[in-house]
Amino acid sequence: MERDDASPVASGVEGLDYVLRGGYAKFRSHLVEGRPGSGKTTLGLQFLIEGARNGETCLYITLSESRRELLSVAGRHGWDLSGIEILELVPPELSLDPSQLQTLVHSSDLELGETVHAALAEIERIKPDRVVFDSLSEIRLLSQGSLRYRRQVLALKSFFLLNNATVLLLDDLTAEHDDLNLHSISHGVIRMEQLSPVYGGERRRLRVIKMRGVQIRGGFHDFVIRPGGVVVFPRLVAGEHEMGEHGTSATSDSSLDDLLGGGLARGTSTLLMGPSGVGKSTVACTYCHAALARGEKVQILLFDETKRIFLARAAGLGMDFEAYVANGSLLLEQINPAELSPGELSTRIQSGVDKSDVRIVVIDSLTGYLNAMSEEQHLVLQMHEILTYLNQKGVVTILLLANHGLIGRMSTPIDMTYLCDSVMLLRFFESSGRLRRAISVIKKRVGPHEDTIREFRISGSGIAVGEPLEEFRGIMTGVPSYEGKESDLLRDVES
């Protein structure tokens, strides 16, 4: 018994055990607090369902919801609560049973005593391994005082410990000033929050405030409530992941490889910057198509266009991705920033690398990703962790960032150049009354690269990159002009 004391107990919630480094502490009482609607009841039910699945005796004590309501919640999640005992306690003054009605109001001592004694009697009868007590706010109201309330919770905690039960105490935060009372006497404290952005679905997050004797993964972690229960997306910490293999990932276009000094090295990130329509996605697709042809797996996260348009556009450029999507080599995901939390997005990337062995990750684009974040600084911090993790795993990361506007002097919504290992600049330029495209590499940490500017053209056969052009002026200002010979530019492709 002593060896198992406070050992980790599985929570039954995907991702939460990772945050808790194994799960709840065995034979201890844990406080789960949050406003109504934050997901406490769902978390508690998953804890008991996990115990019942392992053959443990489980008890749900409810003072705030009826058995009928709990069964309805379980039914919507597709759960079977047949192996879980449900004790429904109703304070005497709220009962509609005629035998409970009195002409005199019940004293608080009688109300609290009857409620608690009924719970203790049921625990002694069935000897549960896991208990969920929902909720402490009812005990707080019956106690009519913070001192008496604290003593009552202490008594419950001691009783649970004597009976070797692992307990979740749910609290809906009806009285903020009592929070620290509960925190000090609980072995662990989990705070669940629900945030409402100006536009889009609600965002949920949790934080493990304390867990005695455990070096928890602190800070906020995003989570969602979906059919099937609560799913937690632990915040990505790059330093906790092992190093992967490294090498070179070349494209199928030799002139583009020459511009990059032989291609992109594995374990590096590349930022493609330029105005909308200049060809950033097409350059990224060139790398992806070559990698897929070599038998590697690729993950593309689309923020700015639908899967149908992406596949149709790529097919029009001679790159057919349909077969790769069908056989699972290409993980093509359409992201809705209004509905997806940043934590879930990083978890999707991590899952693609760890479970599907993805070798190239494309985020198209960071402009859309920025819209999924509440503040710019958060984007930079999270992107730093994502890029560090992908670099350690030997993954080639390609980020697309659109400038404001199409022509003229341009600016970017956020500066990501210092985080990326390579930066490619794509620009429109004018020559002889025609709009053309130029590409240049302005930064590459790993290996040499050309410092020249080349013209490139997008056609039905893909990307064609020309020879280095010297007669450019103003390329860095965003308003480049070509002053060289027309014969040095790419000629039109005969249809």
485 to 62, 219, 482, 490: CA distances (angstroms) = 83, 59, 9, 11
The answer to whether residues 399 and 363 touch, using CB atoms and an 8 Å cutoff, is yes
Nearest to 363 by CA among 405, 339, 331: 331
Looking at every residue in the chain, the average pLDDT score rounds to: 84
The pLDDT, as a whole number, for residue 264 is 87
The pLDDT, as a whole number, for residue 386 is 92
The pLDDT, as a whole number, for residue 495 is 40
Residue 48 has pLDDT above 70, yes or no: yes
The pLDDT, as a whole number, for residue 400 is 93
Q: How far is CA 142 from the centre of its chain?
A: 40
Residue 374 has pLDDT above 60, yes or no: no
**Each residue's pLDDT tens digit, 108-138:** 554 677 778 888 899 999 999 999 999 888 8
Q: DSSP 3-state assignment of 224?
A: strand
Higher pLDDT, 363 or 382: 363
Higher pLDDT, 419 or 191: 191
If pLDDT is split at 50, 70 and 90, which confidence band does 392 have? very high
Cβ atoms < 10 Å from Cβ of 156 = 23
If pLDDT is split at 50, 70 and 90, which confidence band does 13 have? very high
How far is the C-alpha of 372 from the C-alpha of 213, rounded, in Å? 36
At 3, list the tokens. Answer: 């060896």
Residue 15 has pLDDT above 60, yes or no: yes
User: Strands, DSSP E only, in 19-67?
Assistant: 24-25, 29-34, 58-62
Report cis status (omega within 30 of 0) of the bond before 481. Answer: no
The pLDDT, as a whole number, for residue 375 is 55
Which of 52-56, 153-157, 370-374, 450-454 has the weakest average pLDDT?
370-374
Residue 99 has pLDDT above 50, yes or no: no
**Each residue's pLDDT tens digit, 22-42:** 999 999 999 999 998 899 999
Across the range 52-74, mean pLDDT stands at: 92
The pLDDT, as a whole number, for residue 16 is 97
The answer to whether residues 472 and 480 touch, using CB atoms and an 8 Å cutoff, is yes
The pLDDT, as a whole number, for residue 438 is 87
**Each residue's pLDDT tens digit, 218-277:** 899 999 999 999 999 999 887 777 666 666 666 666 678 888 888 888 899 999 998 888
**Each residue's pLDDT tens digit, 405-427:** 555 555 566 677 888 999 999 98
What residues form DSSP beta bridges with 440? 425, 453
Residue 107 has pLDDT above 80, yes or no: no
- For 68, counting Cβ atoms within 10 Å of its Cβ (0-12 exposed, 13-18 middle, 19+ buried), the class is exposed
The pLDDT, as a whole number, for residue 5 is 85
**Each residue's pLDDT tens digit, 278-320:** 999 999 999 999 999 999 999 999 988 899 999 999 999 999 9
The pLDDT, as a whole number, for residue 184 is 87
If pLDDT is split at 50, 70 and 90, which confidence band does 331 have? very high
Residue 360 has pLDDT above 90, yes or no: yes
Reading phi first (left if > 0) and then psi (alpha if -120 to 50, else beta), residue 29 is in: beta
The pLDDT, as a whole number, for residue 125 is 92
The answer to whether residues 269 and 421 touch, using CB atoms and an 8 Å cutoff, is yes
**DSSP line for 150-169:** HHHHHHHHHHHHHTT-EEEE
If pLDDT is split at 50, 70 and 90, which confidence band does 105 have? very low
Nearest to 311 by CA among 291, 289, 293: 289
